[in-house]
Every structure is written in C-alpha cells, then in structure tokens.
Structure 1
Amino acid sequence: MSQVNVLYTSTEGNTEAFIDKLALEAEKAGDDFHPRAIGDETEVAVEKQPYVALVPTYLTGGTGTGPEVTEIFTNALGEYIEEGNNQRYLRGVIGSGNRNFNDQYILTAKRYAKKFNVPLIDHYELRGSKFDAARIYPKIKAALESKHGA
C-alpha cells in the first residue's frame, strides 16, 4: 500500500472528474489516495510528504505561448506550491486542457514543470478517460517514489 498525495485545482469540474477516476485506480491498487483541492480560499499548509500537482490550462492574452499569455484560475495552486518549502516535495506535474487550443494545450503544466524544475509526468484532455487514469496513475506512483527535487 502506497500513500498517494495529489494537489489539484478544478474550476469547471473537469479536474475533479479526473481525480475521481484516479481514486478508482488507487482503490484497485489498494493505495491510500489523498487528493486535495487548492483554491483561492485554501489556507496554506506545510507539505511534509511528496505529492504531484494536477493543473488544468486556463489562459488569457492571446493564442501563442509567449509572456503575453497568462494563467487565470490556477494561480492559487502555483502560489501554494511556492509557499515555504512546499516546492521541495513536488515530484511532478500532470496537465490537462483542450487540444483545440493547439500550442496552448497543457501550457500551464509545461510552465509549472519548468518553473518548479520537476517533470511533466503526463497529460490528458478535458475530463480524461478511465484509460487515461489507468495510464497515468502508475506514473504518479513512480514519480512519488523518485527522489527528484528532494
């Protein structure tokens, strides 16, 4: 049995729906699954265990990938990770988005991975499928077992 810690933000419910699919995978594996939603109202805690972050893509400011394009709705998660030593326990990022947005698909996750110097573990579109969850869940566990960032 593994403890699987996941921080996420969900604005439209898509990430929350994917968390539910990951929870089913954790149950099959007999793991202790700990997802926590982070939003503007979340009080910052001191992270003491490795975790991964699931981040959707919500952008404003253009159609490219340059600095004029800024994140919206996911800022609380990024700020939470930056607080104190919380970044130290981040082991990777999983992105979601809409492939219709071309270069901007999972751009927020790519930026988080670069900013926090962790791997982009994987990605899925919109709410994700049960097949995405089955593919991604073992990668989450592997990332949590790694020493990257420690």
Structure 2
Amino acid sequence: MHILYISISGNTRAFVKRLEAYAKEQHQLNSENPLITSKEISENSPFDIEAAPFFTFVPTYLEGGNGVNSGDTEILTEVMREYLEYENNYLKCLGVVGSGNKNFNYQYCLTAKQYSEVFGFPFLADYELRGTAVDCERVYQILRKTSSN
C-alpha cells in the first residue's frame, strides 16, 4: 500500500511513520498483511505521474471563519491538491484520510472531505492531531480492506 501525504506541523508525518511501523509489525506476524510505503509531498516536491494506486493523507488548515459560511478556504496544503490534479493523479487515489483538531467542530477534517467531494474518491477515515495507537490499527485495517476491493 502506498500513501501520499502532506505534513505542515509534523503531525501527519508522525502518524504516517507510526502507521508504516505498525504495518511492518503486522507483516512480520503474517506475510499476507501488506507493508506501507509513503511519499511526502511538499512545496519542493517534483510532480510525478503516479503509476500505482495510493491513499492520500491530509491535515486541515483553513482560512479563518467557521467552515460553514466562511473560512472553508484551504491554505497551506494546496500543493497536494495540485499534485493530485497533475496528469490526473487523483484517478489512482483509492481514498483520503483526514486529520485535524476536534475543537474546530465542523472544520474537523474538512480538507479531506473537500478532496473527497472535488476528486470523487471516498473519505475513508479520520484521526485527531497525531492520532493514537488505536487510530493506527483502525486506519491500517480500513486501508487494507479498501486496497483489497
């Protein structure tokens, strides 16, 4: 399984790295459990044509407001949107996982929900901030099930 992610504060990177470690443990227990590879997308990333299916992980950074009638403009993560648009990479995306801070109510994981709506792939899962060990297990199982369909 392959993950493309963007990490502004380091929370998404930390979660993806823990998810990779969890997948490695599961693979050692049973070789039928898939490993995870990942690629961080940033302002300095070259844009590539993705050859294989992947999952997208995005944090939520929005411009002010309440996310309902103002403030649902994506900021800081636009390079991921551009990467997905590049040569129609989004067509290979199996789904998006979002993160955020539950204190922001409706805005929680809004970027991932917007990606799902705009690109037409499913919103698969969410976790708060850096996530927990339970989140890693839950998200891994969702990715595994989705990639086998």
Q: TM-score, normalised by structure 2?
A: 0.91
Aligned partners of 1:65 and 1:107 also within 8 Å: no
One of 62, 81, 97 as aligned partner of 2:65: 62
1:5 is matched with: 2
Q: Is contact 2:6-2:80 (8 Å) kept? A: yes
In structure 1, give the amino acid aligned to 2:62: L
In the alignment, is residue 40 of structure 1 matched against residue 37 of structure 2?
no
State the secondary structure of the residue aligned to 1:140: helix
The secondary structure found in structure 2 opposite 1:110 is: helix
Number of residue equivalences: 143
Question: What's the CA shift string for 1:77-120, capped at 9, x where partnerless?
Answer: 11101110311100100000000001100000000011111111
In structure 1, the residue matched to 2:90 is: 87
Correspondence for 2:22 among 6, 25, 28: 25
Structure 2 residue 13 is matched with structure 1 residue 16: yes
| Pairwise CA distance, 1:67 | 6.2
Contact 2:64-2:71 within 8 A present in 1 as well: yes
Contact kept? 1:40, 1:76, Cα under 8 Å: yes
* Change in CA separation of 1:14 and 1:88 when aligned onto 2, cut-off 3 Å: same
Contact 1:96-1:124 within 8 A present in 2 as well = yes
TM-score normalised by L of structure 1: 0.90
| RMSD, matched Cα | 1.3
Identical aligned pairs, as a percentage? 39
Which letter does structure 2 place at the counterpart of 1:119?
P
Distance 1:74 1:65 in 2: 19
Amino acid of the structure 2 residue aligned with 1:5? H
Q: Is the 8 A contact 1:5 1:51 kept in 2?
A: yes
110-119 or 67-76: bigger deviation = 67-76
In 1, the alpha carbon distance for the partners of 2:113 and 2:68 equals 10
Structure 1 unmatched runs, 5+: none
Question: Would you tell me which structure has more strand in proportion to its own residues?
Answer: 1
Distance of 1:145 and 1:83 partners within structure 2: 26
Take 2:45 and 2:70, find their aligned partners in 1: how far apart are those partners? 27
Q: Distance in 1 between matches of 2:126 and 2:41?
A: 19
